[in-house]
Amino acid sequence: MIILRHISVALTATMAAVGTALFIALSAFYKRRTWTPESDYYMFREEEEEHIKKQVLVLGLDGAGKSSVLQGLSGSGYRRGCRPTRGFNFISLHTPACQLDFLEIGGGEDLRMYWADFLKRTHILVYVVDSSDRGRLPLAKDELHRLLKADAELPVVVLGNKQDKPNAVGVSELREALSLNSLADQRKLFLLAAQSGFEGLSRTCGLQKFQDLLLTLV
């Protein structure tokens, strides 16, 4: 059973890595339809010119709400009952300045050990935390700091998600729980609050604010 489990973990990680490589390769050769970020222009359009491409890596423990954020950014809206991501998800966001390619890697224990391998091609790290899952905040902190040590200069945006849930940790307490105060002066690191689902992100920190921050960092 142990051998089979190791084989399953290796195959899952390999599929995620191969999928990422294929995504990057295909994006270099094919024009594809993307969503414009402005709320008044949520419609498909063909890319008319080449844009600078920047990769945004979206990580966080399983159940943190990473997929819901991507759903909203893609314009598909928030759907309840998202299944945990076992491999990867990605979307592209077309802006006047550049093209942001969002890549989400699953947050299960068997995939977290491979997170750091994806930092090399990343321009920004978005780390999503379930603010209501108090019992796993220490684990979320440990995984975040492991990533921060792996790349000392990568800009980081931490999303304190599910602020509307019962017993959710407030932003100030979350900053303390994740030990962000000791890092604030050493690197570009930001903490934003969000409620459940992408609509919560829009109501709390705001899609435009989130987008503007990412564009500033790249």
Tally of CB atoms within 10 A around 45: 11
**Domain total of the chain:** 1
Token pair of 50 as six digits: 């080449």
- Whole-number pLDDT of residue 68: 83
In the structure, what pLDDT confidence band is assigned to residue 32 with cuts at 50, 70 and 90? very low
- Smallest CA-to-CA distance from 21 within 159, 120, 111 is with 120
In three-state secondary structure terms, 177 is helix
67: CATH: 3.40.50.300
- Whole-number pLDDT of residue 207: 66
**DSSP alpha helices (H): ranges in 44-163?**
66-74, 109-112, 137-150
Tally of CB atoms within 10 A around 77: 11
Query: Would residue 42 count as lying in a domain?
Result: no
Query: Would residue 73 count as lying in a domain?
Result: yes
Query: Would residue 57 count as lying in a domain?
Result: yes
16/124: higher pLDDT: 124
Query: Would residue 41 count as lying in a domain?
Result: no
- Whole-number pLDDT of residue 48: 41
Query: Would residue 7 count as lying in a domain?
Result: yes
Q: What is the pLDDT of residues 196-211, one digit of tens each?
A: 655 555 555 566 778 8
In the structure, what pLDDT confidence band is assigned to residue 14 with cuts at 50, 70 and 90? low
Q: Phi and psi at residue 97, in whole multiples of 5°?
A: -85, -40
> Residue 167 contacts by C-beta under 8 Å, 6 or more apart in sequence?
132, 134
Distance (Å, whole) CA 196 – CA 168: 11
What region, left, alpha or beta, does residue 187 occupy, with left being phi > 0 and alpha being psi -120 to 50 degrees?
beta
Token pair of 128 as six digits: 């999503």
- Whole-number pLDDT of residue 114: 92
- Reply yes or no on whether the pLDDT at 47 is more than 60: no
- Whole-number pLDDT of residue 98: 87
- The mean pLDDT value for 61-76 works out to 81
| Cα 58–Cα 37–Cα 25 angle in degrees, nearest 5 | 55
- Smallest CA-to-CA distance from 130 within 186, 181, 74, 200 is with 200
pTM of the model: 0.73
Token pair of 156 as six digits: 């980081």
Query: Would residue 140 count as lying in a domain?
Result: yes
Calculate what percentage of the chain has a pLDDT beyond 70: 63
Domain holding 121, by residue range, is 2-35+51-217
Query: Would residue 100 count as lying in a domain?
Result: yes
Burial 122-161 (b: 16+ CB within 10 A, else e): bbbbbbbbbbbbeeebeebbebbeebbeeeeebbbbbbbb
Query: Would residue 65 count as lying in a domain?
Result: yes
Distances (CA, A) of 195 to 58, 63, 68, 137: 17, 14, 11, 17
- Reply yes or no on whether the pLDDT at 22 is more than 90: no
